[in-house]
A and B are shown apart, each in its own frame.
Chain A
């Protein structure tokens, strides 16, 4: 058995063992099995990374035939190239850290084996997704992570809000999935196969072809790309389909860190990079990606300014950072998108887990208005939060500096109007990012303690089992950018990515980004520092200021606080009308018409007939004899009258 197969299936085996036999295995053994499986997978991933990326040994392992009907054949396979090797490493390392962290975080939960099983199941599905060799398996992983996400958001199923959030996440993702599925169907119609290799090879010949849909003949690659993009937007919570992500914070914090920050939500970005050989020939799609990404980046950042729930602030920052990755992919700077994906996985998981440590210390409190002054009580968490924030804000030399900088530069270097749009919004979002990040930090750790005395007396630093994973992630948040820069996006990028990413010679945003003026390349750092300074003024120097500003710009403040009223809009335009329609179809259509016609009326008729037939059975022998004679006369008349 080869290493990649082991990496993919170790989490599945662990999930099956703890999921099926968790009750008899017990809490400790379940934790041990899943953590060991994931740590082993993470260690093996290093070897695969070494083999596939550094030694350029790409391979495609076919496990077994899956579907084989007529012209359609699909196999289970594992594709190992630079792209999937990077993803495998990120996924298994972050997942292993989250598994270990969960041992401490979930120590007092009632159903630990179930939680560990779901986490491992998620990891398996995510690995299936990133190692997919064809669109159908990609979709399998896609749905698998969606399922695990649903199960984990609703993990505390006795909370109505958690159930509502789980359903919302699932339903919103289904909207994206519909686009994704249609995209996959379009791929099959166009190329006659689901496998990546032949599809990518044939992509150049498809330029300019059209597709017939009713009386409409749109460009085939554009349609396919847009449909697939809708899928990516759903999974990566981009503008329009982003509403589920903040609500998903109802799940336990390790889930937020693993699924809703580091891995699953980046699946859309991964897909865009994986499909680069296709998207490169669909410029309309790429421009759409730029607009969607850049708009999401600034949109989510504005909402992040006004939120008071510590996890929701980080959730909106995730949404915003995903927007960066999107527009990076949109300007053909796929390596930059992957680079930011990787560094983001570390520092965002770090931020979430540190936030989890704060919540853990406060016994479940998530409202920042009831925090404050914690830095002396939990200094290690405080320091880790600083590291995460510096990385997120893109301050030199932390990881985010390298990855965010190259994205913004590439957008500028693309030279198109779309690129400039992304550049301006990206810089503005960077400023807001650093502002709200330090707003979070100052509100949580500085100023007066605003929680009650009982909570305050119980504040404690997290146990080592939670801190050690945080240290590992902090190392990533500090060094990943510096170490990865050269090979991910610098001079070595062509060799590093090999054939897994295609960038056409006309799309030279990334290459041009090396030759920009000093001002452009340092603008994100400058606005980042400015953001920190402003937050310091607002929340440390003059704590009365935020209230005044909110009062002055009341309209904007309310807009940000209420998330631009997107939820309300959807509720009014979609949820309520659909609910009314559904209720009408249920009561009027199903209960009245269908049940009436197919159940109530036949039942009444059967009962009436049954009573009539039994009433014939009078017990009188002459009635019986009469029936027989009637039968004979009837039969004879049948021949003489009906069929003469």
Chain B
């Protein structure tokens, strides 16, 4: 028997062990020292993991008898997840203390969840994929309900848990169908069986694919599997919402792409349809529903649904160019969305988080820096030049056009015009309305400012030197097209 190869999975292994180590420290050390120490150590562990991911030898490598695979594509997605997790941990420090949820379990749970995401991204087998998915989800239930004396927070956790269980059920049902019709759980085996399927296998596999991808779409919060998103975004503590907004989506989209171009490449027509149906539904639902929201976190929930629609547009094109567009979109989305939430993390009033639209009135006078950064992020989210948002949209709209889907591209442009309304309304409120009651000073921190300033610079100046970012995304996309 060949020995177990585990070195390519070193980052995941390190992160898993580090989270267990932090758990031990948290239990043993004095509580007043863990409140701040564990998050910092957690961020350090994530940073080390990021270094390990980036430093890994280039090229495709398998581990654990093919259950696990790492390649350029995985490195790109993992780097985004890790960056987002580091930023949310650091930016949430002050916020969590202010909200009284600065317990050591929170960073440990974040680390465990990130471990799950990394496992999903690098899975090469339905079994390992499912284990990664559940490892990602379980800490998220707890995190959503982390402010346990808040009814809305516990409601968010419960809703997410129940619906997630349902989606896991759908996913497992799909996986079992696929196993039944291809007689294998590894991606290679499934892909091999579906290259030229007979009629019976084709129908069964397509139904299995639909159920499996429905489970993925739930994590992605793509319509019509999005219903949990606004409630969970609104109910969870903002530091957790920020984590929700980026990591799970990147991981789920990475899985979607790996499945689509790997085992399901024989059923290209089938998953193309799933991708564009989800894309259309997400664009329409996310775009229109956001207009009616006055709660910023709910608005951002619908905004994230709409952005998932755009990322899916790149995938729906089904080409290498489209996949690159999706990765570019994910990268830009990470920065602008995270930046928005980090700004929101610094806004509180009378001990409560400032999350309604009217709370931002006159922000340009009370917090000019935050208002400017938020304006940059919203302009980018709306896709207005010269921000990175317009650039990202271009890279998903063009592949859709090239792939002969002009209707989809036109819908995307129309929906981004609709989206302009609710983003620019926030800018209007910040710059032209008179300030209300003063904001709390003790929730904002220098770390937050540094993070959102950095993100704003990236969003604003990416179009000046897009070359390196584009070539990295292009190389990552290319690894799925041998």
Contact = CB atoms under 8 A, between A and B. Distances in A.
B163 A621 contact: yes
Interface string B202-222: 010011001100100110000
Interface stretch (B55-63, B68-76, B269-277, B342-350): B269-277
A550 interface: no
B228 interface: yes
A609 to B, nearest CB: 4
A24 to B, nearest CB: 30
Nearest to A640: B203
A613 B273 CA distance: 23
A623 B288 contact: no
B210 A636 contact: yes
Looking at chain B's contact residues, the main secondary structure is: helix
A628 B285 contact: no
A628 B225 contact: yes
B273 A638 contact: yes
A632 interface: yes
A71 interface: no
A312 B421 CA distance: 56
A632 B214 contact: yes
Contacts of B203: 639-640
Contact of A632 (B163, B211, B289, B293): B211
Nearest to A618: B227
A617 interface: yes
A209 B224 CA distance: 72
Given A606-B418, A613-B285, A619-B231, A625 B166 contact: yes
A640 B273 CA distance: 13
B167 interface: yes
Contact of B207 (A612, A627, A634, A639): A639
Contacts of A621: 159, 162-163
A643 B203 CA distance: 11
Contacts of B159: 621, 624
Contact of B227 (A624, A638, A640): A624
B227 A628 contact: yes
B318 interface: no
Contacts, number: 78
B289 A639 contact: no
A613 B289 contact: yes
A615 to B, nearest CB: 9
A607 B291 contact: yes
A548 interface: no
A628 B207 contact: no
B163 A628 contact: yes
Given A621-B163, A635-B210, A643-B273, A627 B224 contact: yes
Interface in B63-101: none
B292 interface: yes
Interface string B221-242: 0011101101100000000000
A628 B274 contact: no
Contact of B166 (A607, A611, A623, A628): A628
Contacts of B217: 631
A394 B293 CA distance: 83
A638 to B, nearest CB: 7
A630 B217 CA distance: 14
A212 B421 CA distance: 52
Contacts of B230: 617
Contact of A617 (B225, B227, B421): B227
B443 interface: no
A631 B214 contact: yes
A621 to B, nearest CB: 6
Contacts of A639: 203, 206-207, 210, 270, 273
Contact of B292 (A611, A627, A628, A631): A611
A606 B163 contact: no
A610 interface: yes
A517 interface: no
B43 interface: no
Contact of B214 (A607, A612, A617, A635): A635
Contacts of B207: 636, 639
Nearest to A603: B421
A627 B231 CA distance: 15
Given A621-B162, A624-B227, A610 B288 contact: yes
B292 A635 contact: no
Contacts of B285: 613
Contacts of A609: 288
Contacts of A624: 159, 163, 227-228
B170 interface: yes
Contacts of B228: 624
Contact of A625 (B163, B210, B273): B163
A624 B226 CA distance: 8
A166 B223 CA distance: 60
Interface string B98-117: 00000000000000000000
Contacts of A2: none
Given A624-B228, A639-B203, 13 more contacts: A610-B288, A610-B289, A610-B292, A621-B162, A623-B227, A627-B224, A628-B163, A628-B214, A631-B217, A632-B211, A634-B224, A636-B210, A639-B206
9 contacts: A609-B288, A611-B292, A617-B227, A617-B230, A625-B163, A628-B227, A639-B210, A639-B273, A643-B269
Interface of A: 606-607, 609-614, 616-617, 619, 621, 623-625, 627-628, 630-632, 634-636, 638-640, 643
Q: Which 4 A-B pairs have the closest CB atoms?
A: A613-B289, A631-B224, A624-B227, A610-B291
